[in-house]
Structure 1
Amino acid sequence: MSLMDALFYWLQMKWIVSARPDDEAARDTLGFFAQILSEDHRLVSYEISSVDAGRVHVAYAAIEGDVHTAWFDLEAVEQLQRDMFGAPAEEDSGTEDEGD
């Protein structure tokens, strides 16, 4: 799995866990993608850094110390949540906590 795919899937699950903190399956899936980011892509940190203009920005750092930022389309990030649970609430930003 590519780094960008892993970040995107982690982000989608992060979004769902923020909206549904008691969803154990979502938390387990979030942990699975966090493990891929850590083990396969050697990331030491990854977090939602901002949400603006229809984009979600994710800052991530490799074990070598390089820090990067990627952005993902907000509508695409929310799509899984919409498909599974209906439209997300306006106040659900998915940014309450960081990392996995």
Structure 2
Amino acid sequence: MIIGEVIGSVTLSRCHPSIQGGSWRVVVPLDLPALQGSDSGRGEPFVVFDEIGSGNGSLIAVSEGAEAAAPFQPNPKPLDAYCTALLDVVDIKDGTDFS
């Protein structure tokens, strides 16, 4: 699981019937320097399926690969990245809160 920031959305003209009703978000993965406010530590953007209502600027937890489809068993969806949580606060070991 990774932490990412939503920076945009994707609009589809057609999609697989099993994923209708969700949204597609463009997300940048964040590592520790980015979570601490640095401009470095931001990875390449990728697209994530979202059913829980993230928006631009949201910090989210993302499951990738087979784990992205796991919550939908026994009817898996054709996903490679899924928004699993909206994060209000990220607490780093030193006790600093980032939101």
TM-score under structure 1 normalisation? 0.28
* Structure with a larger share of its residues in strand: 2
**Structure number with bigger Rg:** 2
